[in-house]
Amino acid sequence: MKLQSLNRPGWLAVLPALLFTLVFFILPFVGMSIASLTAKGEAFPTLSNYAQFFTKWAYLQGLVNSLEITVIVTVVSILIAYPFAWILANVVPERWQRVALLLAVLPFWTSYVVRSYSWLLVLAEQGIVNDTLQLFGFMDEPVQLANTRFATVTGFVHFFVMLLTLTIYANLKQLSPNYRRAAADLGAGPFRVFWHVILPLTLPGIMVGAFLTFVLAIGDYVTPQILGGNTELVLPQVIMMQFQRRNDIPLSAALSIVLMGVITVVYFACAKWLKLERT
């Protein structure tokens, strides 16, 4: 039962948060939207910024690169993280699981910038990977690993494997052990228990993790900028370029809105899929 007639304290309490969100989030977003509809030498409103996105190949390419990289990262991260989370949840003895999990996500606490930098070290021409490859005779000369799409994907996968291990582990742990027992009791071997029962039941959790991965990766500027070099730019890099180098605020605003649009579309697709799963 809530205090009906004395709502004033309630409004007073929520007001700071509401005002803050309105002034420092909604308003800037509205401002950005309005800015995206302006252009030098043209009357307001104009769609020329958005038109540029569809006509100039460089911008569209940015989005395409973003999507390609993000999808690869999402799939690879899930494929690596799921078995790993499974092993942590089911093979590692119970009392070591917390420690094992903590160890698995410890590198989370290196600063984001630092983490990408350390991959630069690992993948450098004189770095450990190249040295090892040459040591075992796979190559005669160092291979360009850093400043490539491969490096960007590796940097992303590293981060998201940790994140997804956490979420998938939590998902697996909260499944009642009786599901496995019941399936086994009815004649299913370990693989069929997994295929018919565990996998379908963890699929919604994987979906949520995949969505999180997608959203975080597609909007990220740091990792591609440090590891990807300047060849295949992703959309955030394109946005930053318009902003910093060419100081074209309306265009970067428009590109940002396009990015948001893509994320929103994916959000609704995932939400729809999750709702279908429920029924």
Partner 1 sequence: MMRALAIAYAVAVYVFIFLPVAMLILFSFQGSQVPVPPFNGPSLKWYAAVLSDKRLTAGLFNSLAVALISSAVATVIGFLAAWGFARYTLKWAGFWKGLISLPLAVSYLIIAMGLLIFFNWAGLPKSLFAVGIGHVVINMPLCFAIIYSQMTETHANIERAARDLGAADWQVLTMVTAPMLWPALFASFFLSVTFSWDEFVISFLLTRFDTTLPVEIWNLLRGGLSPKTNAVGSLVFGVSVILVILFELLAFRKKTA
Partner 2 sequence: MSALASIENISMHYGPQTALDDVSLEIVPGSYTVLLGPSGSGKTTLLSILGGFLQPTAGRVLIKGEDCTDVVPAKRPTATVFQDYALFPHMTVGDNVGFGLRMRRVAKAERDVQARAMLETVGLPDAFAKKPHQLSGGQRQRVALARALVVEPQLLLLDEPLGALDMKLRRQMQDELKALQKRVGTAFVHVTHDQEEAMALADQIVVMNQGRIEDRGAPERVYARPATRFTANFMGESSNFGKVSVRPEHVVVGQGFDAVVMDVVFQGSFKRVTARLDSGETVFARVAAGASVVAGQRLKLGYAAEHGMEF
What part of residues 17-76 is at the interface with partner 2 (CB under 8 A)?
Answer: none
**CB of residue 7 to partner 1, shortest distance in Å:** 5
Specify the amino acid at residue 241: M
Q: Which of 55, 66, 65, 69 has the alpha carbon at shortest distance from 251?
A: 55
By CB under 8 A, name the one of 58, 75, 79, 87 that touches partner 1: 87
Of the candidate spans 25-33, 55-63, 201-209, 271-279, the one that interacts with partner 1 by CB under 8 A turns out to be 25-33
Residues from 215 through 254 that contact partner 1 (CB under 8 A): 215-216, 218-222, 226, 236, 239-240, 243, 249, 252-253
The Cβ of residue 82 has, within 10 Å, a number of other Cβ atoms equal to 21
Structure tokens at 274: 């999750």
What mask, x for binding partner 2 by CB under 8 A, covers residues 138 to 177? --------------------------------------x-
Cis geometry, peptide bond prior to residue 45 (ω within 30 degrees of 0): yes
Cα–Cα distance between 246 and 235 in angstroms, integer? 15
Of these, 37, 53, 82, 158, which contacts partner 1 (CB under 8 A)?
158
Q: Which amino acid is at 111?
A: S
With binding defined as CB under 8 A, does residue 145 bind partner 1?
A: no
Using CB under 8 A, which residues numbered 45 to 84 contact partner 1?
Answer: 80, 83-84
Element (H, E) at 237: helix 235-244
Nearer CB in complex with partner 2: 6/186: 186
Query: Quick check: 276 binds partner 2 (CB under 8 A)?
Result: no
Residue 207 three-state SS: helix
Q: How far apart are the first and last CA of the chain?
A: 32
Please tell me the number of Cα atoms within 13 Å of 12 on its side-chain side: 4
141 lines the binding site for partner 1 (CB under 8 A): no
From the list 60-68, 120-128, 166-174, 180-188, the region that binds partner 1 by CB under 8 A is 120-128
**Under 8 Å between Cβ of 29 and 261:** no
Tell me whether residue 44 or residue 109 sits nearer to partner 1 (CB atom). Answer: 109
Of residues 221 and 273, the one with the C-beta less far from partner 2:
273
Out of 34, 102, 182, 269, name the contact with partner 2 by CB under 8 A.
182
CA dist., res. 88 & res. 101, Å (int):
7
67 alpha carbon, distance to own chain's centre: 11
**28, 55, 106, 192: residue in contact with partner 2 (rule CB under 8 A):** 192
Helix axes 94-105, 149-173, angle to 10 degrees: 150
**Count of residues binding partner 2 (CB under 8 A)?**
19
Site of interaction with partner 2 (CB under 8 A): 176, 178-179, 181-189, 192, 196-197, 200-201, 277, 279
